[in-house]
Structure 1
Amino acid sequence: DYRGEIVVILAGYKKEMADFIKSNSGLESRFPLVIDFPDYKPDDLYAIALNMVSAKGFTITEEAKDVLRDQIVLAHKTSTAHSGNGRMVRNMIEKIMRNQSARIASVEDISKEGLNEIIPEDIEVSHASAHTFDLDLEKALSSVVGLTDVKNYVRSLYARLRMQSKRKKMGLPVDNAQTLHMIFKGNPGTGKTMIARTVADVLYNIGVIKTNKLVETDRAGLVAGYVGQTALKTTEKVSEAMNGVLFIDEAYSLAQGGTNDFGREAIDTLVKLMDDNRERLVVILAGYSKNMDDFLQTNPGLKSRFPNIIEFPDYSADELMIIADNLYSSKGYVLSDGAKAKLLALFGEVFHEEAFGNGRYVRNVLERSVNKQALRLSSDTDLTRDELSTIEADDIEEV
């Protein structure tokens, strides 16, 4: 009704505004101009802080500037979507000024310059590191059976990132162009998800990403059934993983639906979002080795964006036995000698099969053996603790 008399500007958080626009079919056509305001970088926030200090008639010593910059970098690393950017800096500066006022109030003889001077003492130093825990990498890796080469890759990644952090602190050049996106190739049950969680902890601990969250998804979480919906669905999932790690299982399935399949739209959307959010997102694609090799050929830009390709080999029969022992023990069961011998023989027969389930197969065997044990003991009315805890050879069978 007032088309030529009023201009309306809607503002808000990116995801919430996107949901709002989708809530009414008429909104998108009436608000065609969408302007995205990115978060400030630490250098931007530092410049804003210095401008605020100057605008309020204060000066700041060089030593205090160094402390202020460090605190802004730390605040930025631990910030969330609701931290406020410039608002966060304004709150920080106002607190510094209150501290400065309290300090000079107790000084009897102070110069005119000192009345408006900010020194390091006025800046409340947070001793929190850029992460909330110290990663014990060897302890994390010790819980993973086998996978020697995979573990060595994670160790080398951790060492490289630590060295880059130290170089940066000493003013040495650092290669910021490197990409950390990865491909995990191998059969199911070989520890890909477990290692992905460890990688997320490593990247967070070093300060590469702001959180150690790992968002797991697959084709169903990225691809929609209607034209135009896949890009939105993929974007939402990537937004959920922002500042963390996105783990896409069976990623090859995105390219297996034919020329008119929406999976290719998901790939194109993912690639663009990875490029646009290079410093805020690490993507790990996972799947069968051959399928993943074929998948890399579907998009010419994929191979260069995923230079870190890690092969997860199948477990040996002995490694499967260790996994089984650990799994049964964690559930409160003990394998008899006969059950152990039967399990080892079973693993020796099946571990070389194509698309073998590895750790997943061990879990399936456990579930069946527990069911068989329960059935075997169901007619016994006077059960002992040992009987309830022991898995016998008769309880073990192939699945």
Structure 2
Amino acid sequence: MNVLTLQQQVRDYAISIGIDKIGFTSAAPFIDLKRLLKQQQELGYQSGFEEADITKRTEPTLLLEQAQSIIAIAVAYPSKMVDAPQGKKGERRGIFCRASWGIDYHTAMRERLALLEQFILEKVPTAKLRSMVDTGELSDRAVAERAGIGWSGKNTNIITPEFGSYVYLAEMITNIPFESDEAIGDQCEDCRLCLDVCPTGALIQGGQLNAQRCIAFLTQTKGDLPDEFRTHLGNRIYGCDTCQTVCPKNKRKHNLIHEELFPDPEIAKPLLKPLLTISNKDFKQQFGHISGAWRGKKPLQRNAIYALAHFKEEEAIPLLEEVMTTDERPVIKGAAAWAIGKINGEQSKAILQRALIDEQDAYVIEEIHKGLLFTQ
């Protein structure tokens, strides 16, 4: 079969199975990306979640023998929640970022990639294919940019003309020599809204991110959250959308297209207090199907505690005291102590002073003292 004919058939089939955009590029090395990644590594800007071997991230031929091209795909996800519940005193709510509103995007993308692989193999039984989503070696964004899916915005997200930056990305390396699509030129121009509003200054300059300061990364860490970032969390319990919500290119991009990606409002904006004592079983049952659950409940519980402090939720102090005195995890106990002080209710000082009498963990004791400083 003629490659161009096959390529068009692949495009048509991709749209029929719920892929919103597809592009093709060569399997040539990503030379500019290699330079950028080395710089990020030297500056300590990486998150640690990515593939450590820069060569694997930038040379597709190392990942698939005789690789000649890469198929990039994008699936749009919603940016608008219908009938979103409103938090109120006594019933404060947290928020998951939009990328975690529906079913886990790894599942959604892998299902589509599997169908696409099957389709290609039916047409070309000898084809070699290797697909990956997010956790693969290649940079989804670099592949998508070169394949014409969108351009790399100053917020480091791929921005598509059709769906804004609210798209999931994935790719498939193949030995089929598909014709490359043209890249889309930068359309951010002199806009720098995302840089100006980043809560923690994680966006160093257009297209460069210090992941160690990014709230989206920080909400996923399992350990202690440095003091300087705690008040910046707001009510975010997983991820951060600030650099996307302010982007002019995302205006009126609601993307209510795929039902499996629609948010369950009670999951996407959960009540905070029940999260603090949720069992592992209930957590898995309620949140296990979303990508925001991948690190387990501990980071989300810590973030929920800081969110209660953000709201100055005095009604939560008895529950926070219970967590501080009965939970066995120092990070959670310490977060509760800090939050009790930050809320600074009538009983906060006495509660923290009592806790000091029996507490043995040095970290928790330090957090109690931090909490007491708020009550002076």
Q: TM-score, normalised by structure 2?
A: 0.30
Q: Which has the higher contact order (CA 8 A, sep 6+)?
A: 2
Larger Rg: 1
Q: Which has the higher helix share?
A: 1
